[in-house]
């Protein structure tokens, strides 16, 4: 009975502070015990995963609230962070261009590719290799 109560206390603490070390310290339960419970008790593992997830969501909400407060206080870093992550015109962009459109492979490039394909098929199971060779004919 005492163990069930300790588990409930720990789960509650994980929802408040989703860091195992801190939750264990605040609830007076050794980390080793927490991990032993997770390993030996499927229900506790599921409950602790849910508690950690709920706690992370709560911290995310708190962080977003603080970020919005910082934006209202005209904090440039907060403004920049928000725009970079929430507005497409301010995101970091990587432009990729390809200039070899419709360019034919040279004979040596074709031979290299053929050799590479042969090498990869050499490692296949014999029955797959036979099937591959039959399909080529």
Cα dihedral 61, 65, 67, 70 in deg (nearest 10): -170
Instruction: Look at residues 25, 1, 32 and name the one whose alpha carbon lies nearest to residue 16.
Output: 25
Total domain count, the chain: 2
| Domain membership flag for residue 95 | no
| Domain membership flag for residue 85 | no
| Domain membership flag for residue 125 | yes
Token digits of residue 102:
């419709």
pLDDT for the residue numbered 133: 60
Would you say 22 and 32 are in contact if contact means Cβ atoms under 8 Å apart? no
Count CB atoms within 10 A of the CB of residue 35: 14
CA distances from 127 to 3, 114, 119, 136 (A): 57, 21, 16, 14
| Domain membership flag for residue 76 | no
| Domain membership flag for residue 58 | yes
| Domain membership flag for residue 93 | no
Question: Distance between CA atoms of 67 and 23, rounded to whole angstroms?
Answer: 25
Residues lower than pLDDT 70 in the chain: 1, 100-101, 122-137
Would you say 85 and 71 are in contact if contact means Cβ atoms under 8 Å apart? no
Of the residues 33, 65, 97, the one at which a domain ends = 65
pLDDT for the residue numbered 2: 76
Q: Is the pTM of this model over 0.75?
A: no
| Domain membership flag for residue 84 | no
Q: Which domain holds residue 123?
A: 107-136
Say yes or no: 58 and 112 in one domain.
no
| Domain membership flag for residue 26 | yes
């Amino acid at each position: 009975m005492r163990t069930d109560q300790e588990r409930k206390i720990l789960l509650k603490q994980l929802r408040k502070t989703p860091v195992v070390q801190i939750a264990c310290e605040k609830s007076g339960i050794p980390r080793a015990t927490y991990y032993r419970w997770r390993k030996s008790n499927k229900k506790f593992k599921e409950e602790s995963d849910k508690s950690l997830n709920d706690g992370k969501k709560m911290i995310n909400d708190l962080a977003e609230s603080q970020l919005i407060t910082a934006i209202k206080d005209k904090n440039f870093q907060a403004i920049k962070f928000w725009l970079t992550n929430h507005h497409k015109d301010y995101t970091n962009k990587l432009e990729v261009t390809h200039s070899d459109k419709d360019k034919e492979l040279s004979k040596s490039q074709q031979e290299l590719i053929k050799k590479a394909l042969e090498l990869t098929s050499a490692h296949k199971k014999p029955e797959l290799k036979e099937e591959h060779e039959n399909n080529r004919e």
